[in-house]
Amino acid sequence: MRGLVQQIINDRRSGKGQTCAEGTTDLLEILITNDFYKNQDGLIIDEILTFFTAGMKTLHVSTTNLIWYMAKNPDMKKKLLAEIIPVVEAAKDDIAAKLDYETVMDFEYLH
């Protein structure tokens, strides 16, 4: 994992890696340009992996809670699925491109 993050750092520095949209900054960009982390790839990798691990735990807990609530509240599950399934079905041929942030934010019941 450390090697993968190092490669991403190297790609970003060389200009080969994906950068943020104009006017935005991501965590890697902040760390690479910060004076404290400058030329300390080990520290940058540690920070990135810490955020990755914390994000995985948050996702795990959120998903577990969602499944538990849906199992305990079948009416909520029915409403949620009625809202989500038609949109997912319509986007299934290219879900990464067609199911974007704005579409998800339009879900009234999920929100």
- Please identify every stretch of the chain with a pLDDT value under 70, giving residue numbers as ranges: 19-23
Q: Same domain, yes or no, for 61 and 38?
A: yes
What is the total count of domains within the chain? 2
Q: Same domain, yes or no, for 93 and 67?
A: no
Q: Same domain, yes or no, for 13 and 45?
A: yes
Does this model's pTM top 0.85? My answer is: no
Q: Same domain, yes or no, for 65 and 36?
A: yes
Q: Same domain, yes or no, for 15 and 45?
A: yes
Q: Same domain, yes or no, for 52 and 90?
A: no
Q: What is the reported pLDDT for 98? A: 86
76-97 confidence digits (pLDDT tens):
999 999 999 999 999 889 988 8
Q: What is the phi/psi pair of residue 16, to 5°?
A: -80, -30
Q: What is the reported pLDDT for 20? A: 67
